[in-house]
Structure 1
Amino acid sequence: MKSKLRSSLLSFCTFYLLALAVLSSQAQTSSPTPPYPEIFNAVWLTVNERFYDPSFTGVDWKAVGERYRPQAELARSDSEFHAVIEKMLKELPVSHLQISMPRGTGQFGTGVLTQQIEGRTVVTYVPEGSDAQAKGIRFGDILLEPNKELGALGSYSDLRLRGCDGKTRTLKVRRESHSQPERPSIRWRTFSIDDGKRIGYIRAVRFDDDVAPLVDAAMSELKNTNGIIIDVRDNTGGNMSFVRLSSYFTRSYPIKFFADFRC
């Protein structure tokens, strides 16, 4: 397990640095026709040689390369090429595998995260302090034209949404980059249901250095509730601090997992 983890980390770091160096060098050259096929091959080979799982989690990586290579050859800009590479990498169902464009270039969204649910693009997360939040995008909203979200950093997207009330609205939302982790990493509250039962709710945004004291405070406040919901949707990862939260639960208490982003 340790060797696989070490190999996975090495693969990611090597791939990230190679991709960043390749694209950065292309951004600094004045060549009117960047060699996208060569860059594509470098990215594909890096994953092919250094991905932690020799079976590529069951994905036919060779076939994936053959499918996306013609698209890369047809790219006419860094943004188009970047979009092709990102789609190819997403064929592997793993996290932390991506290619980075030079700072300030490429395509950006509004910061909201979405999930495909029953064929609809549903908003599952809105960054705090974002223009999307200020304009009124909410959890459960449905993006009616999700292809219009991406564009140049700082530009605006006219997003058509359908809310939980069934009403359709159009919002002009700025495309932004949101890379800083939210604080606090752990948030909690209680609410009542039928028969006066009190339920605790813990939202784990990220497992970071501030988690331990927050978990202790949350569990102390929620200890007399009839049940606790732990929400880890769109959690961005972090460190081993998640152990602090899991240490409060033993086999004598059932833990159920489910996901539902609908209204």
Structure 2
Amino acid sequence: MDNNSEFIIITGMSGAGKSEAIKILEDLGFFCVDNLPPALISKFAELYLRSQGKVEQVALVIDVRGGDFFDSLFEELSMLEGMGVNYKILFLESNTRMLINRFKKTRRRHPLAPKGRISEAISLERKKLDKIRGKADKIIDTTNLSPKELKGAIKESFLKVSQDKQLTVSILSFGFKYGIPLDADLMFDVRFLPNPHYVDSLRPLTGENKKIQEYVLKWPVTQKFKEKLFDLIEFLLPNYIKEGKTHLTIAIGCTGGKHRSVTFAEKIYENLNGRYNVLIEHRDSER
């Protein structure tokens, strides 16, 4: 396995936050499967290994919802070790009173107590999970943790990426005449900049072309705007990370989404790429 690969098995008490944990890892770029029967772990690992690095981060939730299948967990873990999969186990727990409160609040039935008392089911579940708890690489008690605090604990324990790489930045160029993107977190209007559309030789080209970029960027107003925009982005991104944001969409718009917005989207991409996970899309450049 590649040193950058991560194979995490999430287990623990029902109501302790496993669903929240897998959502957190999914937001951080993991390929996640909830409630996978333990008997299928090795089969899944085979597909994982065959991906040849295309899937590097995997998280599986395995718990007592698997019924009798749960008893095969340790056999499957031994098979993982034989396959060379360096897995880690995250065990989530909480005190009994909090677990009971959570089940009452959500009105969900405990998987071991379809008709019985929740407290008895929790006691039985603790006994069933005692052995796997002893094998866990990380145990997190969620009794007094907020979702944000749980996210911080998981990131600190399992993420190997740098702080910056915890944020995925999507850069989108668009044309206002075709409608604004509804999913933008930050939106900037560059229609005030000199427009290459009015230069006959440049009109057919897009902002991905160096000639367009040179034209757009040569003006003093453009240089001043670029300096201020880049300073603002550099200030904002670390603060978004600090607040736990994992995905940010920056939209840049001009009239038709072909020249000025594309130019700035490309320049923002160049500035951030390598320091953040950056994606770029030119929505309207070919219209």
Q: TM-score range by the shorter chain?
A: under 0.3
Q: Which has the higher contact order (CA 8 A, sep 6+)?
A: 2
Q: With structure 1 as the length reference, what TM-score do the two structures score?
A: 0.25
Of Structure 1 and Structure 2, the greater helix share is in: 2
Q: With structure 2 as the length reference, what TM-score do the two structures score?
A: 0.23
Choose 1 or 2 for highest CA Rg: 2
